[in-house]
Structure 1
């Protein structure tokens, strides 16, 4: 998990590998399928998951896009399912203010139970 080092967050390569795996499993996609979808050989994601390699910045951004998360959501390991959260935000943002307040009220009520 992310560590705090002198007031700054620190994420290790293992944390990045684990987070990619976590988000990939939430998306319910195999390493093989994700590798091919990103335009790589079938073992690309497995090599990242095992820690043998790390993606370049461009590849990291492509991975985030594929997993339907922003880089900020990727590094927010407190979010259980950031892709789902993003979809909820996008859906709610299209509602009227009155309906948004209703969704908030329901969400807050459910959170108390």
Structure 2
């Protein structure tokens, strides 16, 4: 996966993370993932870079999560959660920064500083 910030301009944490990177002179391609959703394979790679299972990047408190009848303990496989994320990018945690073959979730924004070391 190429270096980028998976960004939602309507999200305050995403904007704060982008600002934090800019203040440190880090300019990354911005991928507005709601407009350019990630494929299932890209999501799988992203989870590998983060070192987490797909459920870990699902926004379970998002209203859409409940509207879809989803539950953390529904027995879905990793592949099924990747399908959910690919079909409903709004459920993906944000922002996520990918830099030099590593990734971090910008919640809080300071989490991404570990990628700069």
Q: TM-score, normalised by structure 1?
A: 0.34
Structure ID, larger Rg: 1
Which protein has the bigger strand share? 2
Which protein has the bigger helix share? 1
Work out which structure has the larger RCO, using CA pairs closer than 8 Å and 6 or more positions apart in sequence: 2
